[in-house]
Structures are given as structure tokens and as C-alpha cells.
Structure 1
Amino acid sequence: MKKWLYLMAVITLLFFIAACGEDNEQTDAPDTGDNQTSTEQGANSDETEESEEDGESEMVTVSMMDGEGEEIGEAELIEQDSGVLIYLEASKLPEGERGFHIHESGLCEGPDFKSAGDHFNPTNVSHGTESEDGPHAGDLPNLEVEEDGSVEQEITAEEVTLASGEDHSLLDEDGTALVVHGEADDNESQPAGDAGDRIACGEINEED
């Protein structure tokens, strides 16, 4: 009888040891799902840091001012594969079609904003989509201003970039500017589409 009890105790002990061994193997097994996620997150973080080191700005915010120096709206410029997306939201503008361009200097001194220079035109071509060798890189579609003087519009400027140091960069040494004109751009007349006076301006410069 004692031998039988002893044998049962030994068998129970062996089962207990085997069960503990299986638990340890499961605990020691690598959690590939979590590790993979962490690795991917780290890689994405590294890519973002490399992009910043390369001088690429993914978004720039521009304050739009009228000739009296009052802020009338804001534009967000976002780097995309197709160019730079410009999302403009402004008010207190004359109703109807208004010319809208990127100008070559990031300096908006009212009331006439001539300080912004000519259209942004790094390839030295003619103005307008209707000209034979146009348009300028800074030529944009006309704005459609509502009866209450407000405008909310998205436009993609395909020939420019926010990457510093690149060709056609809006963030060169002296920056560039967004300008709204008092008349519609006819997309043909030289050198600026007969769009009239400059009635609003926003400086495009590197953000601190």
C-alpha cells in the first residue's frame, strides 16, 4: 500500500513539473504582434525626423491682410504629391470673381502691396492658362467671393513646393506671398491678367 501511494505521489509531481515547463515556454515566447507595431511606429517616427532634417515643411499658415492692415482671413498651405494645396478662408472682400496669385516676394506692405513684386515665375514664361507658353507657377484660378464678402476655397498649385532649397519652392530666401486682386484674371493679358489692384495679401515665410 505504501509503495502504491509513493508511486502516485511521484506521478503527480511529474505532471506538476511538466505543466510548469509549458507555462514558462508560453511566457518566454515573443509577442510578434506588439513588437512589429512598435517597430513600425519607430520607423514612421524616423521618417518624420528625416523629413524635417531635409528642410521639408508640410504645412504653412498665412494671415491675409487688407490694405488697412486688418486681418481678413487665413490660408493653409499643405504639401502634397500633386503640389501645394491652398485652403483659403476670408471675408470683407468685394463680391464676384477676384484674381488670386502667388507673388515672388514675401513682403506685404499696404495699401497697394507692390512690395510683393510680380507673379511667382521661376521658369520665366508668360502669364495665364490661355497663353502659348504659360502659365506662371504662381497663377491660380479666380476666387468666387460670395454676396456677403466671404470666400472659402481649395486650390492646388501644381508647379510649386514647400520644400526649402528645392526648385519652385515658396520658401526661398525672401519668401513669397498670396495676393487677391480687385478684378477677375482673364488668364491671357500680360503680364498679370488685367486683374486690377491688389486688395489683400499674405506673406508665405518659414514658420518659427
Structure 2
Amino acid sequence: MRTALASFGLLALAACSSTPPPPPPAAPAPVSTAQQATAVLASASGSRVSGKLTLAPMGDGVHISGEVGGLTPNGQFGFHVHEKGDCSAVDATSAGAHFNPTDSAHGRAGTASHHAGDMDNIASDAGGVAKVNAHLRGVTLGGGAGNDIAGRAVIVHAAPDDYHTQPTGNAGARLACGVIKVVQ
């Protein structure tokens, strides 16, 4: 009986000290399934702002390039991806709020807290044209993941984003809106 109890005690002690099984491997990060998309920006809110952007997966996000014209010369303008791919309202409010799948506070891209759709302001030249060369980190293009920007809208705002006023950066009216459409 004593031997049986001692054996049982050793087994119980061994069971308590065994290491737990390793956790399952982390799910792979979502990746872009599209190769390229465009956003044709049409004027909103009575402006004359328009343009065309090309979007392509690159590194840790999506690269956005193109031109926006009809802006006030030598100005700064808020520039964001918004949650809905709907530019039907005259003032583009149909595009909803900034794209924010992680429910973060608004801020400057590249800082600890910002919306997934927050980007730096674009700047116009003396002719009222802004050359866009932006990289949006942490998002994908196509594939339907929570951070996918395909089918959402790009908005150009009337004022520069101050990067801290919640929830929009005090960027003002929406001057142009374009839906991100996958082309490849």
C-alpha cells in the first residue's frame, strides 16, 4: 500500500511539473491579393478638385501615387482613406469616417496611435497641383481582411490635418472623393 501511494504521489508531482504544450502558431498576417488599384477623384462640396491615384501593395502596406489638381496654390490638405467606398453624397459624407478597423485614436501616420486610413497632408504647388507619393502602412489591397482598403474611398480635405483633433484632425470639408477599385 505504501509503495502504491508513493508511486501515485510521484505521478501526481510529475504531472504538475510537466510543461504545457506550446501555443498554436500565430495566424499569418493578411496579405494583399490585388496587384494594382486606382482611385479617380471627383470633386465634392462644390470644389473643382479632381485627380487620379494608383495604389499598389509594397512592403508593409500599400503605396499611393498620382496627382490631384484644382487645389488652392501652395496649400496643405488632409488626405485619408475613408471607411466606405461611396462618393454619392454631394459633400462626400457618404464615404463615412476615416478607415479605422482597430478603433484607434486619430493621429499622424507612423505614430503609435492613428487610424489605418490616416496619411500625411498633401501639398499643392503654385499651380494648385499636388503630386502624391504616400505609403500607407499596415493595410492590404484586396483579399477581404479587416485591414483591406480595396473598395473604400480616398478623400482630399479642404484644410491640413492637425494630426491630433479627434476624430478627424480638423481637416475640414471634403473636396474630392474616389473609390479604390482593383484593376489587377
TM-score, normalised by the number of residues in structure 1 = 0.67
Q: How does 1:11-160 map to 2 (within 5 A)?
A: 56-67=33-44, 72-95=50-73, 96-129=75-108, 134-160=113-139
CA deviations on 1:113-166 (whole Å, 9 max, x unpaired) are: 000000000000100139x86200000000001121111120000021103122
The one of the two structures with greater contact order (alpha-carbon pairs below 8 A, sep at least 6) is: 2
Distance 1:71 1:57, change over 3 A: farther
**Partner Cα separation in structure 1 for residue 108 and residue 69 of structure 2:** 27
Bigger drift between 92-101 and 160-169 goes to 160-169
By how many angstroms is 1:111 displaced? 2.4
Structure 2 partner of 1:169: 148
- Partner amino acid, structure 2, of 1:182: A
**Partner Cα separation in structure 2 for residue 83 and residue 77 of structure 1:** 10
Q: Compute the RMSD of aligned alpha carbons.
A: 2.3
Alpha carbons 1:126, 1:133 under 8 Å: kept: no
**Partner Cα separation in structure 1 for residue 37 and residue 90 of structure 2:** 24
Structure 2 partner of 1:45: none
Distance 1:110 1:88, change over 3 A: farther
In the alignment, structure 1 residue 193 sits paired with structure 2 residue 172: no
What is the SS of the residue equivalent to 2:88?
coil
**Partner Cα separation in structure 2 for residue 194 and residue 55 of structure 1:** 31
By how many angstroms is 1:72 displaced? 2.2
Alpha carbons 2:32, 2:57 under 8 Å: kept: no
Consecutive unaligned residues in structure 1, runs of 5 or more: 1-53
Larger Rg, first or second structure (1 or 2): 1
Number of residues of Structure 1 aligned to a counterpart in Structure 2: 151
- Partner amino acid, structure 2, of 1:146: D
**Selected match of 2:154 from 174, 178, 182:** 178
Identity, in percent, stands at: 35
Distance 1:190 1:163, change over 3 A: same
Alpha carbons 2:38, 2:182 under 8 Å: kept: no
Structure 2 partner of 1:33: none
Consecutive unaligned residues in structure 2, runs of 5 or more: 1-30
